[in-house]
Amino acid sequence: MTAGRQAVEGQGNEVTLLGRLFVRGAVEVVTGLHIGGGAGALAIGGVDNPVIREGLTQRPYLPGSSLKGKMRSLAEKATGAAQTFSIGRDVRVHVCQTSEGYQTCRVCPVFGTLGQQAFSRPTRLLARDAFLSPESVERLERARTDLPFTEVKWEAAIDRVTSAATPRQVERVPAGAVFAPFELVYSVYEAADLERFRWLAGMMKLLEDDYLGGLGSRGGGKIQLP
């Protein structure tokens, strides 16, 4: 993983872009990775839970939104941030409600706010989509996987009273696959952003200790950032 700095100067009405920090590297799949796709992906193999795939190549990829969203979730847990903003019916996240709270918040300046707060500033962190490395594409094309570039894991939900089992299929990117290069772009608007960037590096370590995508409590989704 590498980091570099590009000097960029710009003047807006309220903020000045002082520069950008780039973090580039690779995401290695340690245990099978499932990041769900849309209903259109069902036609590929008819599995119950398909992965997201590129439209042109039909290869699985790692959405930047999944990477950034998981890091935000871990950041909220690590800081004990109150869940103050509702997204839909069942999902709540942290969004600062006051200017004072925003200035001391670890989460909102880095990952952005999800409302129209007058006190908020531009999001610092941008996460780009990452695609299978050429080496991984070659290895998976040679492998005898259940579906193109992916494996199918069978799971079963067990009725606690009758012991009846309901099987389901989960599509996963196999362990050993590498998404590279991945890129995080971090914008610097004030001196405090440099300290926030060092804190963000800790969230990347938490991500390695946790999981990405779905079904992490069942063993999947462990990644490594070489």
- What's the pLDDT score for residue 34? 95
65 to each of 130, 147, 151, how far by Cα in Å? 11, 25, 23
Please write the tens of the pLDDT for every residue from 87-129: 877 888 898 988 899 989 999 999 998 767 788 788 999 999 9
Please write the tens of the pLDDT for every residue from 15-49: 899 999 999 999 999 999 999 876 554 445 567 78
Cβ contacts of 22 within 8 Å, gap of 6 or more: 2, 3, 4, 5, 6, 183, 184, 185, 186
Given the DSSP bridges, would you call strands 16-29 and 178-188 parallel, antiparallel or unpaired?
antiparallel
Rounded Cα–Cα distance for residues 10 and 102 (Å)? 23
Question: In the predicted model, is pLDDT for residue 3 greater than 80?
Answer: no
Question: In the predicted model, is pLDDT for residue 10 greater than 50?
Answer: no
Mean pLDDT of 69-89: 90
The domain locations on the chain are 2-224
By the 10 Å C-beta count (0-12 exposed, 13-18 middle, 19+ buried), 173 is classed as buried
